Amino acid sequence: MNPAPIVCGMGTSIPEQVVTNDDLSEFLDTSDAWIRQRTGIRERRVVRPGTSTGDLAVLAAEGALKSAGSGEADLVILATTTPDHPCPATAPDVAQRIGLTGVPAFDLSAVCSGFLYGLSCAAGFIRSGAAERVLLIGADTYSTILNPTDRTTRAIFGDGAGAMVLRAGHPGEPGELAGVTLGSDGALRDLITIPEGGSRHPVGDELTAEGRYFTMRGKSVYRHAVQRMVESATRACELAGWRLSEVDHLVAHQANARIISAVGERLRLPAERCAVNLDRLGNTAAASIPLALADAATAGALRPGHRTLLTAFGGGATWGGAALTWPDITPVAV
Amino acid sequence: MTTAQPLAIQDQLIALLAERFGLDQTTIDPQVTFSSLELDSLALVEFTVTLEEDFGVPVDEEDVTAENTVGELAALMADKLTAQGQAAG
């Protein structure tokens, strides 16, 4: 029988600097009431100049390895849209900084679905026997790619990192990743994009000021996100052999409180079973699912044995769902 | 051939709006616009998703704007349902 991927450690890192809605309304045409009504967000964390995605990833990874009780891993995957450099990938640097020099390490680009894409990769490596212990990190510093004058994206996104260690184990063990599903649709490429600075419009060309920044068509994203997150959560549940009514927690990508409640409602999961921490952290992109998992576990809402459903939608467009039983672990915040 | 009935659809839309957004059904008449119901842009998108799910026809974001009235949307939905019925033969 093939080994099963088992979650055995979690770590998180968020920047110290808090930016409240009132802080934003000092220089943008917005208000605390407007932001809270449309997004559910009260404040977000933002890195200070000089702190990179890799810096946050290192801290979260150290927390996850500590939580797992061992500094060992034989593969490092970093899901991010905001790597330290366009080239090379950030994962090898992170691996070296945490004492894992020589271990294979790569970045994974699936925007806000990145952590679920990473989970699927980690599971595949473990099931095939190609890896025994995988360190998966979701880390982003969207504050470095947002248009300073865009009140919508400025209000939504925050910075942060979350990491998870998965090991080879036996089917049915607590912490088992019991089902993962992924999908994409490139026809929706313009919904969430940094239009310029890649090979389509290279840096050598004359770039527009706007085109270098992250942009999002919020209304279309809302619509596709609700539909795809409901589909993939349902599919992940089927793959795990669970009924939706048996799900203890839905930990959805923390995009927008109204998306989470629309998804929860369609899955017939009461609000108390739907994890929300975006009020304090905003949308932290690839970091949002591990940060929400760690917060729910630390608060005691997510307990060992709980059937936990994950789902995300992001740029690409990409989406995914995953089902896991929550293990008896203590997330470590660094 | 199936012809969808705008009046029946209108009643259905009013009931849906009341249920989904906690509005008083008696305050919604066919002439009322979505902006006067104080639904923000995300609520209108949410409503297009609900319409697709409940009626089983594609609904664009542009089909449900703040300036539209409930009656106009009912007529549009009736056209969509009739077209779908004709396509189905």
CATH of B6-87, one of 1.10.1200.10, 3.20.20.80, 1.10.357.10, 1.10.760.10: 1.10.1200.10
A112 is catalytic: yes
Q: What is the pLDDT of residue A291?
A: 98
Q: What is the pLDDT of residue A313?
A: 98
Q: What is the pLDDT of residue B89?
A: 59
> Å from B42 to nearest chain A CA?
6
**C-beta atoms of B41 and A219 within 8 A:** yes
**Residue length of chain B:** 89
User: A218 and A251 share a domain?
Assistant: yes
> Å from B79 to nearest chain A CA?
22
Q: Answer yes or no: are the C-beta atoms of A6 and A177 closer than 8 Å.
A: yes
Low-confidence ranges of chain A (pLDDT < 50): none
Which carries the bigger pLDDT value, residue B2 or residue A263? A263
Which of A37, A220, A262 lies nearest to residue B46, judging by beta carbons? A262
A21 is catalytic: no
Confidence of residue B21 (pLDDT cuts 50, 70, 90): confident
User: A256 and A154 share a domain?
Assistant: no
- Domain extent, residue A58, equals 4-169
Residue in B20, B46, B63 to test binding to A, most A beta-carbons within 10 Å: B46
B1 pLDDT exceeds 50?
A: no
The partner residues of A75 in beta bridges, in order of sequence, read A134
Q: Answer yes or no: are the C-beta atoms of A256 and A158 closer than 8 Å.
A: no
Q: Answer yes or no: are the C-beta atoms of A193 and A215 closer than 8 Å.
A: yes
Angle (CA) B69-B73-B78 rounded to 5° is 150
Reported pTM: 0.93
Instruction: For residues B61-77, give the mean pLDDT.
Output: 90
User: A96 and A243 share a domain?
Assistant: no
**C-beta atoms of B48 and A223 within 8 A:** yes
Is some CB atom of chain B closer than 8 A to the CB atom of A212?
A: no
- Chain A partners within 8 Å of B49 (Cβ): 223, 226-227, 262
Residues with Cβ within 8 Å of residue B89, at least 6 apart in sequence: none
Is some CB atom of chain B closer than 8 A to the CB atom of A234?
A: no
Percent of chain B with pLDDT over 70: 93
Q: Pick the catalytic residue: A21, A277, A283, A306?
A: A283
Split into its structural domains, chain A has a count of: 2
Where does a domain end: A153, A169, A185?
A: A169
Which carries the bigger pLDDT value, residue B55 or residue B5? B55
User: A37 and A155 share a domain?
Assistant: yes
Query: Omega of the bond prior to A79 within 30 degrees of 0, cis?
Result: no
Is some CB atom of chain B closer than 8 A to the CB atom of A38?
A: yes
Q: What is the pLDDT of residue B38?
A: 83
Question: The CATH number of the domain where A256 resides is what?
Answer: 3.40.47.10
The kind and range of the H/E element at A133 are strand A133-141
CA nearest to B48 within chain A: A223
B24 pLDDT exceeds 80?
A: yes
**C-beta atoms of A219 and B61 within 8 A:** yes
- Chain B partners within 8 Å of A38 (Cβ): 40, 42
Look up the ipTM and state it.
Answer: 0.78
Which carries the bigger pLDDT value, residue B6 or residue A136? A136
Q: Tokens representing B11? A: 């009643």
